[in-house]
Structure 1
Amino acid sequence: MSMFTKVGAEAAAAGNNEGAAKESPIVSFKSGSLFKVGVKSINNVAEYYGYSIYNKVNTFVPKSPAARNAKGYITGGHTVWDKASELLYAEANAAKEAGASEDAVKEITDEAYLYKGKKRYLRSFYDLTTGKDIVVDLSPKQEQTLKSVIEDNVDDLDVIAFKLAKKGASTAAVVSLNAIVKMDRDLTDEERANFTKIGDEPFDFADFETCLYVADEAEQVKNLVIAGFDIGRLGLSIGASTNTAPAPSDNDAPAEIDDESLPF
């Protein structure tokens, strides 16, 4: 099963490499970043669900991701992180039904949300400074912002260059993609020369596979421990098989939460 839920045109419509190691096109896209880029295609994008805990566990994708429906809800193949999240959501529902305070229930659902897979996007651009494809990691809101600009200029991508930038931090981070109106003035000779090559080679979608860290089930269990979750609640221990871990009930489905509340 692929780590990506949607790739190419399908991802745009939605909101390991053998031999010598291939350089990954992923670039750091933090506050203050600025790239002069071209866009080869609006469809050079992939959607995935990443798992992480801020300052504890770096973002990873499961080696065997859960199956999801068109709305992103898990339909089978829960990872141990999914099971941890849904166990806590079930605990929150039970607490609510037992008359627990709103704050007490929220404390549990907030913890459950930490272990939930969050929708993310990888989008490719053509870096005019280096003459190479680059990939940036985006939240759904950031992807929508950039895609809207590309859609507005989709018929002129072969003659328009852009400035791709990110400002602000945490939930205040803002990404932008602005057309370079005067390319003769604002691009160097080398950047203009690279722009003329934008249509020479299409983006290789296999490069997306090099952009994410993949964790097998054993590492996911260790990451749960690092995150502070009691894996014994899932019948697990470090080094033990997870096959006997309890599967979440259909009645334990988590409440829908806006991913844009995340600090990235």
Structure 2
Amino acid sequence: MAEYYGYSIFKKVNTFVPKNPATRNARGYIDANPTVWDQAAALLYKEADTAKNAGASEDAVKKITDEAYLYRGKKRFLRAFFDLATGKDVVVDLSPKQEETLKAVIKKYEKKLGTIAFELAKTGSSTNAVVALSPIIDMDEDLTPEERANFAKLGETPFDMASLETCLYVADEAEQTKNLVVAGFDIGRLGLSIGATSGANSAGSTQTPPPADEGAPIDISDEDLPF
């Protein structure tokens, strides 16, 4: 399992991690090197504070803070599983709540992890996605012959922890700036422009989606599980 801070806006900007991420303290707050997305969020939170002090309505202030929240880095988790259907490792992208749910089950059955299989399931979608990890009691009946054969191979090849560092899409500052434009933020408020940030070839360009990669994590919040 690995923890990271990802940036995205549902159906507008795909999840990415900054090439040069902000420095965060033990509580997850930024104390140095904020990304352009962090700067956008900070600007809006400051604007909301100013509006509040000026007597703006609660709804007006909330509208600003809601927008600011969109640009903040969100804590996410990558957890690796061994997929019995394919006989290969798979990495699943989880929200903190989803990770907490799965971790509790794994902890409960930690002494049986090498002797029983589990079913990973999801209901709902987007922010309403709920995950469940359930032990399979009767593997002879509930697993196919191929799945039982793959289960017998469990542990033959240890999971490559270094692969967790390569399965996320990394965006440099130029692409992060373009993504802010895609998201609808006025980058001029940060003194930025596409031409100045990313060069002549970036003019008029749009967000580059993450490449199709078998090693990319499955976002359990937005996608159907492949098993």
Q: TM-score range by the shorter chain?
A: 0.7 to 0.9
Measure the CA separation in 1 of the matches of 2:108 and 2:51: 48
Q: Secondary structure at the match of 1:163?
A: strand
Larger relative helix fraction: 2
Indicate which of 97, 100, 109 corresponds to 1:144.
100
2:8 is aligned to 52
What amino acid is aligned across from residue 92 of structure 2 in structure 1?
A: V
Superposition pairs for residues 105-120 of structure 1, below 5 Å?
Answer: 105-120=61-76
Report how far residue 241 of structure 1 moved.
4.5
Superposed, which structure 2 residues align to 1:54-133 within 5 Å?
A: 54-133=10-89
2:136 is the counterpart of 1:180: yes
2:156 to 183, 200, 208: 200
Kept in 2: contact 1:120–1:140 (CA 8 A): yes
Unaligned 5+ runs, structure 2: 199-220, 223-227
In structure 2, how many angstroms separate the alpha carbons of the residues matched to 1:239 and 1:132?
A: 43
Cα RMSD for the two superposed structures? 1.4
Cα distance in 2 for residues equivalent to 1:122 and 1:212: 10
Which residue of the partner structure matches residue 166 of structure 1?
Answer: 122
Alpha carbons 1:218, 1:239 under 8 Å: kept: no
Once residues 162 and 147 of structure 1 are traced to their aligned partners in structure 2, the CA distance between those partners, rounded to angstroms, is 13
Tell me, in whole angstroms, the C-alpha distance in 1 between the residues paired with 2:73 and 2:128.
Answer: 22
Number of aligned residue pairs: give it: 200
User: Greater relative contact order (Cα 8 A, min sep 6): structure 1 or 2?
Assistant: 1
Q: What's the TM-score, normalizing by structure 2?
A: 0.85
The answer to whether the 8 A contact 2:177-2:197 is kept is: no
Instruction: Point out where structure 1 has 5 or more consecutive residues left out of the alignment.
Output: 1-44, 243-262
The answer to whether the 8 Å contact 1:60/1:215 transfers is yes
* Identity %, equivalent residues: 71
In structure 2, what is the Cα distance between the partners aligned to 1:129 and 1:222?
Answer: 39
